[in-house]
Amino acid sequence: MKYRKLGNSDLSVSEIAFGSWLTFSSGAQKENAVACVHRALDRGINLIDTANVYGRGAAERVLGEALSGIRRDSYVLATKLFFPMSDTDRGLSRVQIHKQLEASLQRLGVDYVDLYQCHRFDAATPLEETMQALTEVVRAGKARYIGFSEWPIDGIGTALAMPGVERFVSSQPQYSLLHRGPEKELIPLSVRSGISQIVWSPLAQGVLTGKYSAGKSPPSDSRAADDAVNGFLNPEWLKPPVLNAVAALKPLAEKAGLSLAQFALAWVLRLPNIASAIIGASKPAQIDENVAASESRVPAELFEDAERILAGKAAH
């Protein structure tokens, strides 16, 4: 496993991160979920990403159990807030930031998180209030650093220009061979501002593993076949033009000596501004495969060929 510096922080994070989103909140057995966390740590993954809303706290509770007894300075723990936790609890107000962080710390069984992230932008709360509250929790020692996910560019710029508050060190965008939007504005702004990307959905919700085939029903154990989570899948990605293009990437991955999933992860990690790519896993063996992407060396021309094959298929 290789590691990268997270923005203008002193955190060193693994190029592959472990995310608790689906695995912990979609009914997977707790024992298997804990086994996946332990396998991730054993394979050198040190960045663990979750959020209060995943399973309405269930993901954080299971993660807390999995991390119990493990030396606190051996992993980087990230969580998020914004989405509703009740009929009245949501957003990035000062009250919510303090309340939700306290609840997350209790569920996780820790005294602090390394990274506290705003899961989305809150247009209903003054940005000054949000940034001041985030600064308060950092200076109280309850969060070491702060980040954001899927914020508008102007909101990021306003926050970065605000005096007397803590600065963001991370951004969590969706980014993959099939979703390249961050390249246009977010990544250039982040490079200039000391912010690294922690990418979610680097495998395009599993499409870039090659598990889906045009004209065939999705595998029964896949996200596309699970009504509880397939709402997050871009329906365009399951249409024949995209699936056939993805299938055409397999020979490129083979030339690199990689599986298609490893190739897609390595493509994401080709950019220095990407600190880490978040993977999920329903079984420990999936972690073993994905971790190998961090150790790969892929000729640039293979990535260029992949981009040409997917030209017109990726969201920008």
Which residue of the set 54, 116, 145, 175 is catalytic? Answer: 54
Q: pLDDT tens digits, residue range 69-97? A: 999 999 999 999 999 999 999 999 999 99
Cβ neighbors of 72 (< 8 A, separation 6 or more) are 110
Strands (E), 15-164: 16-19, 47-49, 76-81, 113-118, 143-148
**pTM across the whole model:** 0.93
Tens digits of residue pLDDT in 258-289 = 999 999 999 999 999 999 999 998 889 999 99
Residue 84: partners with Cβ closer than 8 Å, 6 or more residues away: 53, 90
Q: What is the pLDDT of residue 271?
A: 98
- At 153, list the tokens: 């560019």
Q: Rounded mean pLDDT of the chain?
A: 92
15-19, 32-36, 261-265, 290-294: range with lowest mean pLDDT? 32-36
What is residue 217's predicted lDDT score, i.e. its pLDDT? 60
Q: State mean pLDDT over 231-244.
A: 86
C-alpha torsion sign, points 117, 119, 121, 125 = negative
The domain locations on the chain are: 3-205+259-297
> Which position has the token pair 């397999």?
250
Query: Tens digit of pLDDT for each residue in 301-314?
Result: 999 999 999 998 87
Type and span of the H or E element at 24: helix 21-25
Residue-level pLDDT at 32: 86
Rounded to whole angstroms, the Cα distance separating 293 from 27 reads: 28
16, 276 Cβ separation under 8 angstroms: yes
Considering the segment(s) 3-205+259-297 as one domain, its CATH architecture is: Alpha-Beta Barrel (3.20)
Q: Which conformational region is residue 55 in: left (phi greater than 0), alpha (psi within -120 to 50 degrees), or beta?
A: left
For residue 282, the model assigns a pLDDT of 83
- Radius of gyration from C-alpha coordinates of the chain: 19
pLDDT tens, position by position, 171-208: 999 999 999 999 999 999 999 999 999 999 999 999 99
pLDDT at residue 27, rounded to an integer: 53
Q: What is the DSSP letter of 219?
A: P
Predicted pLDDT at 315: 76
Is 54 catalytic? The answer is yes
Q: Is the pLDDT of residue 316 over 80?
A: no
Q: In this predicted structure, which of 34-38, 133-137, 251-255 has the lowest mean pLDDT?
A: 34-38
Q: What pLDDT, in 10s, does the model give residues 111-161?
A: 999 999 999 999 999 999 999 999 999 999 999 999 999 999 999 999 999
In this structure, how many other beta carbons lie within 10 angstroms of the beta carbon of residue 23? 24
Instruction: Work out the pLDDT band at 227, boundaries 50, 70, 90.
Output: very low
What is the per-residue pLDDT for 21? 73
pLDDT at res. 234: 84
**Token output for 111:** 């005294």
Confidence of residue 246 (pLDDT cuts 50, 70, 90): very high
Residue 218: its pLDDT value, please? 58
Determine how many CB atoms are found less than 10 A away from the CB of residue 51: 25
pLDDT at residue 225 tops 60: no
pLDDT in tens, 112-123: 999 999 999 999
